Structure 1
Amino acid sequence: MKIGLIGTPFDPFNRGAPAGELASLLPKGTMLTAWPSRVGAFPYTPFERAMQVIGHTEAALTAAEGDCDAVVIDSVGDYGLSAMRAALPIPAIGSGQAGMAAAAVHGQFKVVTVWPQSMNFIVSDLLHEYGHRDACLGIDNVGQEGDLDRLAGPDGYLADVKSGKAALLDRVRAAVARAADEGADAVLLGCTCMSPIARHLAEAASIPVINPLAEGVKAALASAPPEGAPPLREGRIEMLRNMVASVADAPIEDCPVCVGETL
């Protein structure tokens, strides 16, 4: 089986030999492949999020044409999920949707994220859309607004997240502990970029810590193919590709997805 991870960064980690928590989920012969969005806008606001709906959908169409058996959106933001399901002949899974559902199974949960409060609209909107608003006790933001100004590079914020830098990891662990003290039955990690540290967090936590990317992959493995290709009007896919092609040469902004642990 071939699962396409949608929205991973350009020049992604090697998905052919996944390690850690994701590797343990994959049956023999199953592989993960990266399909980045060609729309370079970072989703700082709902305006850019709308751009990524188009970019992620186009990437998913390309993944389907590349013989993927299912696609998983490599973001809790689930950019383009409904559009993908309306266009693809293969299952499309949102890590956000799968992660929230898995957290809600335990009862009330809290979201812990490395992103600052200004990015909360992404998770908040989906909690409402997926029907988990009442089950969520709130969002604990470990990140600060200034972190958005230093995302990339070997000393950037995303590198700190990926490597599990001690100071950051301690802050996230403290947030997970606060969630337990406040009565949460589980914690949902608020970004797939936290996948490299999910295992470390779970080992130190008194309540379940849900890795949304792992839940997305598990859902893809369990999904049955749709019955027949969705009906699309003639020329619609070509129109979408032309839209994306018009901006594909623009600079790629710092990407919030960084799921590697030798991935």
Structure 2
Amino acid sequence: MQIGLLGTVRGMSSAIRPELRADLPAGTILSAWPSRIGVFPSTPVERAMQDIGHMEAGLSAAEAGVDAVVIDSVADYGRDALRAALAIPVVGSGEAGLAAAAVHGRFAIVTVWPRSMNFAAESLLHIHGHAESCLGIRNVGHEDVLGMIADPDGYLSRVNRAEASILDQVVTEIDAAIAEGAEAIMLGCTCMSPMAAKVAVAVSVPVINPLAEAAKRAVVLARNGAAKGVATDRADLVRRMVDAIAGEADENCPVCVVAEAF
């Protein structure tokens, strides 16, 4: 079975999200399908563009024969359009993560990104009816980290390596959320997936890795469905739209461009 991860950048090594493999059936193949639209989603305009970028990535993945796709972003870019365009299951990491966290009762979201990037989780909390169950979003990063993303040893690389200083800050914020009554924690970005296991053993409540939840859900749905490929005749038009701007400089979006684990 092959699960396509939409938004995950193909890295230098052959391993794609190796931390997910322990929770997936043997033989499950994870493949990366990057969005070719590298705009930073700072306003609704760019977010709509990223919806199209992720939809085009999903169309390519479905045409290549994957059995299901997972949106590798808590923002769930293009989820509704993807579900209309593809015959295969589409699972959003944000949607899956929030559902898993809500099972435990009151929960909090802890993210490595600054408050200005909370739009993704805030929107989904209301869309999926979990706003009253969420105690709030706790931010580890300050606004200045957004200018330090793309360097070889930039902030995103440090997050993917689960650098001790960042890991400690995440645990500190989780402990503070637990003191306020949180019965579970959802990690607020799929880029935190590599550190999820380390965080889980350091705290006293369940830690939800939204990407892992989405991948597990995708496997279940793919097993239960026989449909393959796409369900729209607009794939070529979508691809031509993306082709028009795909060569623009990547703006290193910290939400929709997630580097492969180092």
Q: Which secondary structure state, in structure 2, belongs to the residue aligned with residue 8 of structure 1?
A: coil
1:202-213 equivalence runs, <5 A: 202-213=200-211
Identity of aligned residues (%): 53
Which residue of structure 2 aligns with residue 173 of structure 1? 171
In the alignment, structure 1 residue 112 sits paired with structure 2 residue 116 = no
Which residue of structure 2 aligns with residue 24 of structure 1? 22
Specify the code of the residue in structure 1 equivalent to 2:79: L
Distance in 1 between the 2:68 and 2:184 partners?
A: 28
Specify the code of the residue in structure 1 equivalent to 2:52: I
Q: Which secondary structure state, in structure 2, belongs to the residue aligned with residue 77 of structure 1?
A: coil
Deviates more, 1:2-11 or 1:111-120: 2-11
> Shift in Å at residue 64 of structure 1?
0.3
Q: Which secondary structure state, in structure 2, belongs to the residue aligned with residue 52 of structure 1?
A: helix
Identify the match of residue 220 of structure 1 among 218, 221, 226: 218
> Shift in Å at residue 230 of structure 1?
7.4
> Shift in Å at residue 45 of structure 1?
2.5
> Shift in Å at residue 29 of structure 1?
1.6
RMSD, aligned CA = 1.8
Task: Call closer, same or farther: CA 1:124–1:69 in 2, change over 3 Å.
Answer: same
Which residue of structure 2 aligns with residue 33 of structure 1? 31
> Shift in Å at residue 250 of structure 1?
0.7
Distance in 2 between the 1:12 and 1:95 partners?
A: 24
The Cα offsets for residues 45-99 of structure 1, whole Å up to 9 and x where unpaired, read as 2221111100000000000011100000000000000000001010000000000
Q: Which secondary structure state, in structure 2, belongs to the residue aligned with residue 9 of structure 1?
A: coil
Which residue of structure 1 aligns with residue 186 of structure 2? 188
Distance in 1 between the 2:246 and 2:12 partners?
A: 17
Task: Call closer, same or farther: CA 1:168–1:92 in 2, change over 3 Å.
Answer: same
Specify the code of the residue in structure 2 equivalent to 1:8: T
Which residue of structure 2 aligns with residue 153 of structure 1? 151
Q: Which secondary structure state, in structure 1, belongs to the residue aligned with residue 26 of structure 2?
A: coil
Structure 1's consecutive aligned runs of 4 or more residues displaced over 3 angstroms after TM superposition are: 10-13, 226-232, 257-262
Specify the code of the residue in structure 2 equivalent to 1:128: H
Distance in 1 between the 2:45 and 2:157 partners?
A: 26
In the alignment, structure 1 residue 3 sits paired with structure 2 residue 3 = yes
Greater RCO (Cα-Cα under 8 Å, separation 6 or more): 2
Count, aligned residues: 258
Identify the match of residue 96 of structure 2 among 95, 98, 106: 98
Which residue of structure 2 aligns with residue 62 of structure 1? 60
Specify the code of the residue in structure 1 equivalent to 2:18: A
Q: Which secondary structure state, in structure 2, belongs to the residue aligned with residue 207 of structure 1?
A: coil
Which 5+ residue runs of structure 2 have no aligned equivalent? none
Task: Call closer, same or farther: CA 1:83–1:111 in 2, change over 3 Å.
Answer: same
TM-score (norm 2): 0.93
Task: Call closer, same or farther: CA 1:255–1:8 in 2, change over 3 Å.
Answer: farther
Deviates more, 1:116-125 or 1:54-63: 116-125
Q: Which secondary structure state, in structure 1, belongs to the residue aligned with residue 137 of structure 2?
A: strand
Task: Call closer, same or farther: CA 1:196–1:177 in 2, change over 3 Å.
Answer: same
Task: Call closer, same or farther: CA 1:231–1:218 in 2, change over 3 Å.
Answer: closer
* Contact 2:88 2:228 (8 Å CA) reproduced: no
Distance in 1 between the 2:3 and 2:247 partners?
A: 26
Distance in 1 between the 2:244 and 2:42 partners?
A: 21
> Shift in Å at residue 10 of structure 1?
4.6
1:122-141 equivalence runs, <5 A: 122-141=120-139
Q: Which secondary structure state, in structure 2, belongs to the residue aligned with residue 247 of structure 1?
A: coil
Specify the code of the residue in structure 2 equivalent to 1:216: A
> Shift in Å at residue 258 of structure 1?
3.4
Which residue of structure 2 aligns with residue 242 of structure 1? 240
Task: Call closer, same or farther: CA 1:245–1:259 in 2, change over 3 Å.
Answer: closer
> Shift in Å at residue 226 of structure 1?
7.1
Specify the code of the residue in structure 1 equivalent to 2:258: C
TM-score (norm 1): 0.93
Distance in 2 between the 1:25 and 1:206 partners?
A: 21
> Shift in Å at residue 228 of structure 1?
8.2
